Amino acid sequence: MAGTTTTRIYDCPSAQPDMAGARPFGVLAGSVGVTRIAFFKKDAIQNFDWRERFATPEATQVFRFAARCEKSACGHYDDAVDKCSLGSRVATALPPVTDALPPCLVRPSCRWHAEQGSAVCLRCPQVTTMIPAGQGPLQSIAAPTVPHTKSLCDSD
Amino acid sequence: MATKKRVETVSLSSLSKSIDTAVGMATKRHGVSLDNGNVILNWEILGRILREMDLSGRDTRLDVAATITKNVVGIKGQPVVTKVGKDILVGFIERSGRTFSF
């Protein structure tokens, strides 16, 4: 199942609230030091008008958002292999934090799951889109590694 | 035997509380300042918010009733809160002068 993802439209599971098709699928839980995502059940999101108060970029400090994958417009998308490099790093560089697949509403359309399979789902609950300064392991895998992200220092 | 690591889930009934917790965590982690209590205008959730309020907090419940009145488009109403047995009824009396026959 994991691998063939070029033609379908997928969702990014670490998106911003202003992206196309954005909707929260979990809320930050755990503790200040060890953050985990608490996943929304269907009834929670169906009855929650999140745009009323949480449509700002800062909302990623409270929720995890999914939205339409922006593919090449995103610094994490690797055009060479048509895959999300962030999903790959999450699947390979982070330890699993759950024994069973989380009840995730995004999975049917999730790019990370389509490309990495269940391995990424076991690691996903520790991912926060807005990473606080000093959270080492998360920060080190979050930086885009795809070559088309040009640094400001590279300008002529 | 090792303990199974399960993730938390959030249902409609626990949504408001979970958001408050997350906002509290964000405040600690990022130093952001947000209002206390999240605003969820879905009527289904108001019951839980009201149940958790201090029963003597009549003014607070009137605020909720006023919020409902303000957000029901096209209706002018007087916010009303009353208690019948264990139930707290929050709503409004329409001011349109319409009469109802029973």
| Domain housing B34 | 12-41
Instruction: Let me know whether B35 and B55 are in one domain.
Output: no
Q: How many domains does chain B have?
A: 2
- The shortest CB-CB distance from B10 to any of A35, A38, A46 is to A38
The burial of A43, by beta-carbon neighbours within 10 Å (0-12 exposed, 13-18 middle, 19 or more buried), is given as: middle
> If you ran DSSP here, which 8-state letter would residue A108 be given?
G
**Residues of chain B contacting A, Cβ within 8 Å:** 4-12, 14-15, 18-19, 21-23, 25-26, 28-30, 32, 38-42, 44-45
Q: Inspect the interface and report whether the beta carbons of B39 and A53 lie closer than 8 Å.
A: yes
The ipTM value here is: 0.74
Q: How far is CA B80 from the centre of its chain?
A: 15
Instruction: Let me know whether B27 and B48 are in one domain.
Output: no
Q: Return the C-alpha torsion angle A67, A68, A73, A74, nearest 10.
A: 40
- Output the pTM of the full model: 0.66
Instruction: Let me know whether B68 and B87 are in one domain.
Output: yes
The burial of A82, by beta-carbon neighbours within 10 Å (0-12 exposed, 13-18 middle, 19 or more buried), is given as: middle
DSSP, collapsed to helix, strand or coil, labels residue A63 as strand
What angle separates helix B58-71 from helix B43-52, to the nearest 10 degrees? 170
Q: Which residues contact A107 (CB under 8 A, 6 or more apart)?
A: A101, A113, A121
Instruction: Let me know whether B35 and B48 are in one domain.
Output: no
- The pLDDT tens digits of the residues spanning B52-102 come to 555 555 555 566 666 666 666 666 666 666 666 556 666 666 666 555 454
Distance in angstroms between the alpha carbons of the first and the last residue of chain B:
66
CB pairs under 8 A between A and B: 91
- The pLDDT tens digits of the residues spanning A10-58 come to 999 999 998 999 999 999 998 878 889 999 999 888 878 888 778 877 7
Instruction: Let me know whether B62 and B77 are in one domain.
Output: yes
